[in-house]
Amino acid sequence: MAHLTLFLLLLGTASAAFDTSTGYGDGICLTANSACPAGETSTCPSAAKVKECDAIYIDADMIAFGAAIYDWSHKETTAAMTVATIPAGVAWNQWAGKSAGGQDAGTCGSLGTCNNAYTKVVHVFDEDNCWPRSKAIPVLGNAASPDAQMALCANTIKHLLGKKPLGAFVLSPTEQLEYSLLKTPVVTCGNAFLNDGKIDASKVQLPFLQGEGGGGTFGSPWTYAEHTGMCYTGNPALGNGYKVGGERYGGSVTTEEYGHTFFDIGISQFDPQGWMAVQKAEAAAYGKWQANNADKGGHERDEDWDCHTASTEYFAAGAEMLLYNTRIGENHKATTRTELRDNDPNLWCLAARYYELNNKFAVCPAGPALADVAQTVDCKAQLGALGVTTFGPEPPAGPSWAAPKRTPVRSCPRRLCARPRARPAPRTPNVPPK
C-alpha cells in the first residue's frame, strides 16, 4: 500500500478520478488517447470500445515460470555477474510434455521434451549499489550461448536497472529495478539451435520462445535478444548493421529488447504520466515525419505497428541514443545525441527522465564517441506540455535539468535494504498484446 499511497499523492492532480484498480485516471487509457488513435489494422480497440483496454492479455504459464526462476535464483550462492552452470534436474527447468512438434524456434523438437534446456545463468545484482542478492535478476542461457554473450546480456541488465543519479529518476533511484521485480521478467540470453538456417528439431530448444528476438509485455514479461545483434568481441554471427559503418554500430540489441520490457512492466507502473507522454510524443514525431521525411525529429512507423508498438520503439530509440549515441534502426531520423536533443526535445527529455545524461558506460567494446552533450532543453516545460506534472529531484547544479546528471545518490531505499516483505499487488496497464 505504500507504493499506492505515494502514487495517489504524486498523481492526484493528474486526473479528476484516479482508478486504483488500474493505476490510471479517467480518459488516459491507451486507446482513449487522441494522440494515438487506433487505425483499422491496429490491435488497439476503437475509442468507442475503450473499456476493452481492461482485457489485457496475460500469459499465466510464463508468469508462473518467471516466479519459479526467481525463487530459485534468490536462494543460489553464486557470485554476482558470474556465468554459472544450471544443475540438471532443477524443477523449473523440466518441460516434459510441452513439445510443439519441432516446427518453430522454442519448441522442444522431435525429442518431445525441453528438460534442462537452460544450462547457464548469471545472477545480476550489485550489493554496493542498493541491489542485494535477494533482488537478483537471473539471465538465462543455453549451450549455444558463449560466456561472452552471457556477460553482455548481464551487463545490459545491470546498466538499465542499476541505481540512477539525481535527475534520472522520478520516485526512487532504484524505481526501475523495484517495479520490474514485481513482474519477475524472464530474461533469455540463449540461442535457438539452427541447421542451415532452420530450427534443428533434433535439439532441445528453449520452451515458449517463438522467435529469436523480442521484448516482453506486461502480460507476457519474457524478453530475449538475437545473437546476431550482440556486440561482444569475437561474435562470428554479428550482423553488418552492428559493425563499423552500420547504423547500429556501438549498440547492442539487448538494450532495445530488454528495454522494451522494462518500459512496459516498470515505467508504465511507477510513472503512468511519462508512459502516456511517450505516446503523445511519438504521435508528434510521426506527424513530423509525415510532413517531411528528412526531418531529424521525425519518427517513421513500420506498416505493421499499432500505436503501442510505435511508442515502445520510439522510446527505445531515444534511450539507446541518449545512453550510447547510437541508433536502433532508421525509423527515428536523428543520428546523434545532439541531433536528437535539437530536433526531438520531447524524446530527449523522456529518455533523460529515466536514464543518465552523458553516460560513460559502453555496452559494446567499440562505438561512437560518448562525448558530453550540454543540456540545453528545459525538460520541465517540455514534458509539462505533454501532461507531465510529477518530477524527481534535480541535480545540485540548477533547475530545469540544466547540467549533466552525474551526482550519485548515496543511500539505498529502505525497501531494498530491509528484509524482504510481501509484494504490493501490481496494477495492470491497458496494453493490448503485440
Calculate the CA dihedral of residues 205, 264, 161, 248 and round it to 10 degrees: 70
- Residues 6 and 424: their CA atoms lie apart, in Å, by 13
pTM of this structure: 0.80
Decide: residue 425, CB within 10 A, 0-12 exposed, 13-18 middle, 19+ buried: exposed
Q: What is the DSSP letter of 400?
A: T
Which of the two residues, 406 and 317, has the higher pLDDT score?
317
Give the model confidence (pLDDT) of 364-382 as tens digits: 999 999 999 999 999 999 9
Question: Can you point out the beta strands (E) in 125-274?
Answer: 137-141, 186-188, 194-195, 198-199, 222-224
Strands 186-188 and 222-224, how do they pair? parallel
Cβ atoms of 363 and 254 within 8 Å: the answer is yes
Quote the CA–CA distance of 274 and 179 in Å, as a whole number.
15
Enumerate the β-bridge partners of residue 194.
199
What single string gives the DSSP state of each residue in 41-62? T-SSPPGGGGGGGG-----HHH
Q: Which residue matches cell numbers 552492428?
A: 242
Mean pLDDT over 174-186 rounds to 91
Give the number of other Cβ atoms within 10 Å of residue 361's Cβ.
Answer: 12
Q: Summarize pLDDT for 338-368 with one digit per residue, the tens.
A: 999 999 999 999 999 999 999 999 989 999 9
Cell numbers given for 416: 531494498
More confident residue, 47 or 297: 297
Planar angle of CA 252, 258, 260, nearest 5 degrees: 110
Beta bridge partners of 186: 222
198-254 pLDDT per residue, tens: 777 787 777 765 555 688 887 788 898 889 999 999 999 999 999 988 989 999 999
Query: Cβ of 248: how many Cβ atoms within 10 Å?
Result: 25
Buried b / exposed e over 218-237, threshold 16 CB at 10 Å, is bbbbbbbbbbbbbbbeebee
Cell of 264: 512496459
